């Protein structure tokens, strides 16, 4: 594609939760100088001119932006389809009604497990009941509701109960996304990576639910990279369909690309159209010309595009390497070693998790709001 159709607008990395699987960057302090309301309105206008049709408002927790309603209203005025990706902490009725009036099209609420104790323990704060209440409010106000659950060793055994909860709240769509190991999740990989037995049991439950609920609920199951024979294509191909704008204005081809040793590109310095077309961070791995072997000669090179560049960098130190998830990768042993450890009978029980720091109470400075 010549232009992107999706924009992930990461409005802030501040968040009231402390999830150990969070994919936000470890260096959260580097993103405290957030774009202003005017900055975001300009970014959305430039995104619309570039061809973007969908705007996903995320974070951190986007509800911590006092100007969220104004941002949604501007996106709606531009004709963008807007999706709020939220923990639902702070999703009060007055705020929800303002967002409805502003033109918000869809709400996606994350939940950590199927019941209060387990969900709150994973989230790091009491939040389960507020999330369920927010889902009821979403349905009452007439929005489509997606329920998102990141799966890992501590909740994957409760997929059936999670799906029962989704039915109970009337979710239109459920995303069961196995953890992607970036950011805080990368730091906690050894503790989070599930076993083969856990995955097999979960996949059996999901297959049955997809068949049973196909006329009532869309169930999306994101397979785990580390147990796959081939890697997933990175966002449908590096900088081909999607782009991400971070809280401080950096533009990336995917949410995890902050870690890569590539020159930064910022909406504070250049228009979005030029960044998309010319910035090295966008062009470095676009297409297939950059590929080494075995990707270059592989018939799947335009199916999975060599896999994930961020995963290749985290595992090998070189973002141009074939994704080690692929069984053809010369570095596949790195993934096999992690999988072997996750399935070892000698694996320590109750491995310590490093929670993502809380940032919800940091005062919002003058650059964050108009």
Q: Is the dihedral of CA 185, 189, 192, 196 positive or negative?
A: positive
Cis peptide upstream of residue 316 (ω within 30 degrees of 0): no
DSSP, residue by residue, 148-163: EEEE-TTTGGGHHHHH
Label residues 10-22 b or e (16+ Cβ within 10 Å = b): bbbbbbbbbbbbb
**How far, in Å, CA of 113 to CA of 152, rounded?**
10
Is 234 one of the annotated binding-site residues?
no
Q: Measured at the alpha carbon of residue 16, what is the angle toward residues 119 and 148, in degrees to the nearest 5?
A: 45
CA distances from 248 to 15, 138, 146 (A): 16, 30, 27
Q: How far apart are CA 83 and CA 294, in angstroms?
A: 38
Indicate if the alpha-carbon torsion angle 20, 25, 31, 34 is positive or negative: negative
Q: Is 310 annotated as a binding residue?
A: no
Angle at 295 between CA 291 and CA 296, to 5 degrees: 60
Q: What is the dihedral of CA 122, 124, 217, 195, to 10 degrees?
A: -20
Q: Residue 19 annotated as binding?
A: yes
Q: Please give the annotated binding residues, written as ranges.
A: 15, 19, 22
Q: Please give the annotated binding residues for [4Fe-4S] cluster, written as ranges.
A: 15, 19, 22
């Amino acid at each position: 594609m010549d232009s992107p159709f999706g924009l992930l607008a990461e409005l802030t990395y501040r968040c009231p939760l402390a999830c150990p699987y969070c994919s936000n960057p470890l260096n959260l302090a580097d993103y405290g100088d957030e774009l202003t309301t005017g900055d975001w309105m300009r970014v959305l206008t430039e995104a619309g001119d570039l061809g973007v049709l969908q705007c996903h408002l995320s974070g951190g927790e986007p509800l911590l932006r006092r100007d969220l309603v104004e941002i949604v209203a501007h996106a709606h005025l531009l004709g963008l389809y807007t999706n709020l990706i939220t923990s639902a902490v702070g999703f009060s009725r007055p705020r929800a009604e303002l967002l409805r009036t502003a033109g918000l099209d869809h709400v996606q609420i994350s939940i950590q497990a199927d019941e209060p104790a387990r969900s709150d323990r994973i989230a790091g704060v009491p939040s389960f009941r507020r999330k369920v209440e927010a889902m009821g409010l979403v349905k009452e106000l007439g929005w489509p509701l997606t329920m998102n659950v990141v799966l890992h060793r501590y909740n994957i055994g409760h997929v059936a109960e999670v799906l029962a909860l989704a039915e109970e709240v009337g979710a239109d769509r459920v995303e069961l996304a196995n953890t992607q190991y970036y950011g805080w999740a990368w730091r906690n990989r050894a503790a989070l990576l599930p076993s083969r037995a856990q995955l097999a049991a979960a996949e059996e439950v999901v297959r049955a639910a997809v068949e049973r609920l196909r006329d009532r609920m869309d169930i999306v199951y994101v397979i785990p990279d580390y147990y796959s024979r081939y890697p997933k294509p990175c966002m449908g191909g590096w900088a081909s369909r999607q782009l991400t704008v971070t809280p401080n204005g950096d533009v990336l081809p995917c949410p995890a690309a902050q870690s890569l040793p590539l020159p930064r590109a910022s909406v504070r310095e250049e228009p979005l159209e030029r960044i998309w077309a010319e910035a090295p961070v966008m062009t470095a791995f676009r297409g297939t010309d950059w590929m080494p072997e075995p990707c270059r000669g592989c018939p799947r090179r335009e199916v999975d595009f060599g896999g994930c560049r961020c995963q290749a960098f985290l595992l090998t130190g070189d973002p141009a390497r074939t994704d080690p998830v692929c069984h053809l990768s010369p570095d596949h042993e790195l993934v096999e070693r992690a999988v072997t450890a996750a399935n070892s009978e000698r694996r320590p029980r109750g491995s310590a998790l490093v929670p993502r720091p809380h940032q919800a109470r940091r005062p919002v400075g003058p650059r964050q709001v108009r």
